């Protein structure tokens, strides 16, 4: 068996936001795209969807790299129990932001750490409560033209101009809303046997 210190760390994600966040921990890592169907299951809650997908992504990549420690993550915006994913298009982003204006949305950010060789598999979830301002259609359009956040769950980047769309953010892990809760990630990596700088 390979000692934990020598194990490759892989981020099972193509997200540039998650890659930037993980780099903050000062650990060498590579990235690999997971091959996971992200379609919600009938009746699946946003929380359960995020947890299932984070674990599925980590397990998928770990299946191809059994000696590595793999991180999987997923974020689902939860509007009154309805999952909102990445809009993908301008029209869907407009519709999401119109629905979320004046509302509180819970961003369910799940992560999982898996090492197939050792049998390690743990997951965690950071729920971030975000209250949106009562946005006018013109504000929504200006924001989307400026930032084009079509690859972000909930159509808003809090780390950028999207912060101006919000009234408040409540959470216990400041990086969770961006897409990878680093406090929880560090905890799970230590539990998997890695030593952080």
Report the candidate in 181, 184, 185, 186 with the shortest Cα–Cα distance to residue 196: 186
User: How many CA atoms, within 13 angstroms, populate the side-chain half-sphere of residue 74?
Assistant: 27
- The active-site residue out of 37, 48, 60, 74 is 74
In sequence order, what are the residues at sequence separation of 6 or more whose Cβ sits closer than 8 angstroms to the Cβ of residue 130? Answer: 104, 105, 106, 107, 154, 158, 166, 168, 169, 170, 177
Q: Please report, in angstroms and rounded to a whole number, the separation of the first and last CA atoms in the chain.
A: 23
Is 48 considered catalytic here?
Answer: no
Site of tokens 């909102």: 84
DSSP code of residue 2: -
As beta bridge partners, residue 72 has 112
| Residue 185 exposed, middle or buried by CB count within 10 Å (0-12, 13-18, 19+) | buried
User: Quick check: 109 and 164 in contact, CB under 8 A?
Assistant: no
Q: Which residues are catalytic?
A: 74
């Amino acid at each position: 068996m390979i000692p934990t210190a020598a194990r490759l760390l892989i981020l099972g994600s193509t997200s540039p936001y998650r890659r930037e966040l993980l780099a903050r921990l000062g650990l060498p890592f590579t990235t690999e795209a997971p091959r996971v169907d992200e379609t919600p299951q009938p009746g699946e809650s946003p929380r359960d969807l995020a947890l299932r997908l984070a674990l599925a992504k980590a397990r998928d990549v770990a299946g191809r790299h059994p000696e590595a420690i793999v991180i999987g993550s997923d974020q689902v915006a939860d509007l009154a129990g309805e999952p909102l994913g990445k809009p993908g298009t301008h029209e869907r982003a407009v519709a999401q932001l119109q629905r979320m204006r004046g509302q509180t949305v819970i961003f369910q950010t799940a992560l999982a750490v898996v090492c197939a060789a050792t049998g390690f598999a743990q997951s965690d979830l950071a729920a971030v409560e975000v209250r949106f301002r009562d946005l006018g259609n013109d504000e929504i359009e200006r924001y989307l033209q400026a930032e084009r956040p079509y690859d972000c769950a909930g159509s808003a980047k809090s780390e950028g101009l999207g912060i101006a769309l919000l009234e408040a953010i409540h959470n216990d892990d400041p990086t969770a809303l961006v897409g990878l809760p680093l406090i929880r990630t560090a905890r799970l990596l230590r539990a998997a046997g890695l030593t952080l700088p």
